[in-house]
Amino acid sequence: IEYFWAAGGSNTYHKFYNINQKTGELITLDTLFDGESDYLAVITDYLIAQMKAETMEDGQSIYWVNDDLPESDRFTGIEADHNFYINEAGRLVIAFDKYEVAPGAMGTPEFEIPTELIADMLADGAPIH
């Protein structure tokens, strides 16, 4: 379930609710992954690498990941309650609100996480493939 919210300006917010279709329970990042895994660090490292690569490739994308930015201004990682959804292909997609990791002109960036990157960290029965 996606909830879209905009209020009198250019800010855009999305909230995704991921529901297990078999049990009706809410799926969170914590329930997708084995409790022993360091999935937040692995996904964060991937996201930062992708943002830097995209910036270098096209010269028009700008993400707040450069090491020369103050830490308070730079994207340093996701938390367990970060916004995500599982796309139709069964892949994990990390979603950001407008202005969260980039200037407003970048819109609401989304990054599909390769399943092979996280496969060994997934909880049994996680709906990711």
Q: Which fold has domain 2-121?
A: Actin; Chain A, domain 4 (3.90.640)
Model pTM greater than 0.85? Answer: yes
Q: How far is CA 44 from the centre of its chain?
A: 9
pLDDT of residue 6: 56
On average, the pLDDT of the chain sits at 90
State pLDDT tens for residues 57-84: 887 889 999 888 888 899 999 999 999 9
Q: What is the DSSP letter of 73?
A: G
**Residue the block writes with tokens 């103050």:** 70
Predicted pLDDT of residue 66: 86
- The DSSP letter of residue 8 is S
CA distance 38 to 3: 28
Over its C-alpha atoms, the chain yields an Rg (Å, rounded) of 15
- pLDDT value of residue 67: 82
pLDDT in tens, 31-59: 999 989 999 999 999 999 999 999 888 87
Write the secondary structure of 86-106 as one string of H (helix), E (strand) and C (coil): ECCCCCEEEECCCCCCCCHHH
Predicted pLDDT at 4: 56
Q: Where are the domains of the chain?
A: 2-121
End-to-end CA distance of the chain: 19
Q: How many residues make up the chain in this entry?
A: 129
pLDDT of residue 7: 57
> Which amino acid is present at 4?
F
